[in-house]
Structures are given as C-alpha cells and as structure tokens.
Structure 1
Amino acid sequence: MELRHLRYFLAVAEELNFTRAAARLGIGQPPLSQQIKDLEQELGTALFRRTPHGAELTAAGVAFLPEARLVLGSAARARALAQRAGRGESGQLRIGFSGSAAFNPLVSTVIRNFRRAYPDVQLTLIEMNTTGLLEMLAQQTLDVGFVRPGPNAPTGMDLQPMADEAMKIVLPNSHRFASRRHLSLAELAGEPFVLFPRGVGLSLHDEIVDACRRAGFELIVSQEVPQISSVVNLVAAEFGVSVVPASISQFHMAGVCYLDIDDAQPPVARMALATRPGQDAPSAHNFLALAAKVPSANLPE
C-alpha cells in the first residue's frame, strides 16, 4: 500500500464519483479505477459499490476512510516538519559566547533577531572562554560561537568577523587620573594591572599586552582574575588599573571610571562568529546570515 493509493481512495470517497475524482487528481478514470481495484485486492475487501450516479462506500470503506485521512495527515505533517527543519525554521541551535562577548550589544541583538525570525528553533546558550568554545566546536557539541579571535584566526575554524569594539581604560575613582576623560596608555607605565590569564581571554590578553608594548612599557600584573567580569570589581577595590572592551562600561559600578584611550593605535576587542568547517545545519546558516545584517552603530565608543 502506497500513499498514492490512499490519496486516490480519499478523492473517490469525497467525490463519490470516479469521473470527478479522476479530474480532481489530474489522471484518467481507467487508471484511477485500476488503482482502487489494486488497493481493494491488497485489503481483501471492496471499498466502493458502483451506483447509477457514481459510487458509495461499503462498510469496509466507511471504516477505512478516517484511518486513510489520519495517515495522509500524518504524512503531510511529517513532510512539513522535514521541510521546516531543512530550512532551519525548527530544531535546535547551540550558541556559545565568551564572557567578554556577552557584554557586547551585537551579541544580544543577533540572538534577539534570530529568536524573532525563527521562534520554533530551540536555543541552547553556553558561556565559556574562547579556547573552550573552539574545542566544543571541533567536538561538534556547539554549532556557532561568538569568540575573540585576536589578530591571528584560529586554525581549523570558519570565522565570520563582526565589528571591532573599542577598548577603555578603567581606573578606581581614587586614582590621580580619575578626573581625566581620556588617557594614553604610556601614562600607565609602572601602574599595577588587574588582568585575566591568557588562557581565559587569549586574544584580549594579547591585545592589551601588545598595546602597552607599543606604548613603550611592559605591564605589571598585580592581580589575575578568573573572568573578565571580575576585573572591574577588583579595580573598584583599588587592586590596580585595567583595560576592558568598551561595552563593559555600560555597566556602571561605584568606585570606578572609564577613560577613552588616546593612542595612535589603540587596542581593539575583536569578535567573530566561529563555526566548524562543513557546518551544514540550516539553522546555523540562518544565524550567520542574520548576524551579517546587524549594524555596528550601536557599539559603545
């Protein structure tokens, strides 16, 4: 028994006329009659009785009709579900982001836009440092990740760059430069820095260290923190100064101030969407396409 047999049966059952049913199906009446005969032979019982004006259902046909409708309806639903999944309109998408990227408004904008465009896709959000995110992508336990790639792209990954984000100096309010609106990094030579380990934020760590070297000094790390969100807390506690992505400055904390960096080549916080090569999940492709349309105008300066 094939689905076409059920479709032919349903057409005749609803039209109660082989000629009208054949016209509805777009086939000739003799082939339709033969298909119904084949179905009746397979079932071992007649489904229709011929009448002077067409046909009528037998008791077997009456019993068969709701089940045929149910099977055809299930097949139609299965087809629709498969097509929606093939277009990335349903299913699951696993999205990762680094701790510093979580503060970037582009991240929330892309995720919000995706949820609005594809409400039936279930999102799983995972926060982890860039190194961990890249490992998860390689292990196929993550579909797409907002990472901090640094100047050199990680090997074995496809990257879709997003807008670079400016960085700011963060000082305790008690600092002698706290009243300034901007500052060159060179003026921080000899200051103790609060910084996260290179393994936690490899690209941001290297960007800050390299920027200080361009300014003519090696920074002194007085305190390491496990994650970037802890940097501002320790600066407020006067453990030292630091440099953070500008988006973090939108969260005002008592005891700190943020200054623009007045250098010819200031550090930047790079961000990109990473996927593993050969990523074929339609929902991931939809996510990347939406991300490419998000303007960078709402990035803090």
Structure 2
Amino acid sequence: MERRHLQYFVALSEALHFGRAAEKLGIATPTLTVQIKDIERRIGAELFKRDSRTVSLTPVGETLLHEARSILQKFALAEDLARRVGRGESGRIEVGFVGSAVHTGVLQHHVWTFREQVPGVELLLTERPMHSIPGLLQEGALDIGVVRPPLDFPDTLESVPLHVDEFCVAISSRHSLAHTKSRVKPKELSREVFILPEQSAGTWEVARRGRFTPSCQPCPGSLIAVLGLVSIGNCIAIVPSVLMESALVPGVVYRGIAGPPIRSGLLALYRSGDPSQAVQRLVAQMRGEHQRDESDRS
C-alpha cells in the first residue's frame, strides 16, 4: 500500500462522499472508487458501507482511519524534517574544542549566534585533548574541531581561522620577574623550569630565541591546572596572552615576551566536502566573521 492509498482513504473517510472526496483530491470519481476497492482487496475487508444515498465507515475502516492519519502525519513530519536538514535548519553538530578556546570568547560567540539563527540545529560541545581532534573528525565522531595551532592534520580536513593572539609568560607573583612591568627577554628564562601546556610551541620558540634547552615538566591537564602549578612557584609556563584577561588566578601574573610576537591563535577544522548543510552553515558563519575581522584590521 502506498501513501496515496492512505490519502484517498482518509479523504473519503472525512467527506463520506465519493464526489466531494475526489474533487478535494483532484482526481475523477471513478478513479477514487477503483482505488478504494483496491485498498479493500489488499486488506481483505470492507472499509465503507455504501448504498445509493450514504457512505459510512465500517469498524475495520474506523480502525484503519486512526492508523492512517497517524502514518500520514509521520510522513509529513519526516518530509518537513528532511527539507529542514537539507537547508541546514535541523540536525546535530558535534563540536570538540581545546580548553583554551573558551578563554577567547570566540567559541561562545559563534555558538550563541548560530543558535539564534538556526534554533533547530542541536550543538553538542565537548572539551577534547587537542591532538585527538583530527582523528575524531576523520572517524565522524566530531563534525567541527577547534584547535590551537601549530597542529598537523590530514589533507581531508580543512580549516577556518577564528582568532589570533600571541604567547606570554605566566609566572608566580613571588617570582623576581613579577616585579617588573617590562617584557621578559627569552634568555632571562633559561634557568627556569617550564610546565608544558597542551600547546607547547610557544615554549620551544622561547627556548630557541633564548638559545637554551628548557627544563620541562609534562602537561598536568587543563590550562587552569597549569596555572595552578605556576601559582605555587615551582615553575613557569608559556601560555596564550588571552589568559591575561580571562584567567585571573591568585598568585599568577603575566608578562609579555620581548622581541617579535610569538603568534598563537585558534582554527576550526572540519571534513572537506562534509555533506551536512548544518555544518556548512556554521563553517560559513565562522569564515564570514573572520573575513570581516580581517577587513576591519586592514
């Protein structure tokens, strides 16, 4: 039985008149009569009582009417959902992000903007270890990943810049360098113990510029954990400068690094050619915001 058979049956059940039902359906009355007989033949029972003047539902017809309306409603909902998904107005997007992404406010901005514009799409956000994000994207466990480069990722992934900042040094408020407002020269840090955050590129660049091999401790987890160890005074850390405003931890002060800025930033990664219209809409929003920011800076 096809969808049209249910539509014919429901139309006649509501009109209880072959002529009026056929007119509503836009078909000839004899055609409707043939279709109803075909349905009854398939079911093996009469759906309507007919005489020269009236048409009424049989008990079997009344039972089928309830189910037919439910099925047609589900058809309509499925069609509407498919259309909205096709337009990127419905669905779900899995976003994985590196912890430092929330400190810039950029991720929150894109989430709020997208939810306002496309309320039918569910955004699920989870903090992930940065080096796991490319693999999770390839596996389909994530749709978009927000990372802090440099980071190697395969050619099957594309990227959109989200934010640009630079690295600074986080030190204990009891450290001798905490009492100066001037930028710290890399060579002044040669005798320090560094704790490596998840993105350690800034640390290695500071060591390269200062011409020393850093003494390092492994990353303890999140940036807040890194700053917690810095506050105790046993080590320092090279971290994104956005933390100067967003992570005011007791016992921690931040200082700029002398010399050319050691650039940092955020990228959004996504699968090349992702068929999801919802993902494409979010990526387009991110790209548009970045292009406007670049235009404003120029």
Contact between 2:196 and 2:237, CA under 8 Å: does it hold in 1? no
Equivalenced residue count is: 289
The reply to whether residue 94 of structure 1 matches residue 94 of structure 2 is: yes
The CA deviation string for residues 60-81 of structure 1, in whole angstroms up to 9 with x for no partner, is 4334322221222232233334
Aligned to 2:80: 80
| Secondary structure class of the residue paired with 2:212 | coil
Q: Where in structure 1 are there 5+ consecutive unaligned residues?
A: none
| Secondary structure class of the residue paired with 1:163 | strand
Between the aligned residues of both structures, percent identity stands at: 30
| Secondary structure class of the residue paired with 1:225 | coil
Aligned to 1:253: 249
The alpha-carbon deviation at position 272 of structure 1 amounts to 0.9
Out of 239, 242, 245, the position equivalent to 1:244 is 239
Question: Hey, what's the Cα distance between the residues in 1 that align with 2:19 and 2:180?
Answer: 89
Question: Hey, what's the Cα distance between the residues in 2 that align with 1:37 and 1:224?
Answer: 78
The CA deviation string for residues 215-256 of structure 1, in whole angstroms up to 9 with x for no partner, is 453363354433333332222222243321122221211212
Structure 2 counterparts to residues 44-63 of structure 1, below 5 A = 44-50=44-50, 55-63=55-63
Out of 276, 282, 288, the position equivalent to 1:287 is 282
| Secondary structure class of the residue paired with 1:183 | coil
Contact between 1:193 and 1:219, CA under 8 Å: does it hold in 2? no
TM-score scaled by structure 2?
Answer: 0.81
Deviates most, 32-41 or 279-288? 279-288
Aligned to 2:174: 174
Aligned to 1:217: 211
| Secondary structure class of the residue paired with 2:269 | strand
Q: What RMSD, in angstroms, separates the aligned Cα atoms of the two structures?
A: 3.1
Contact between 1:189 and 1:219, CA under 8 Å: does it hold in 2? no
* Structure richer in helix, relative to its length: 2
| Secondary structure class of the residue paired with 1:270 | strand
Question: Hey, what's the Cα distance between the residues in 2 that align with 1:62 and 1:241?
Answer: 77
Contact between 2:186 and 2:257, CA under 8 Å: does it hold in 1? no
The CA deviation string for residues 94-142 of structure 1, in whole angstroms up to 9 with x for no partner, is 2211232343311222234444455555554333332121222233322
TM-score scaled by structure 1?
Answer: 0.80
| Secondary structure class of the residue paired with 1:56 | strand
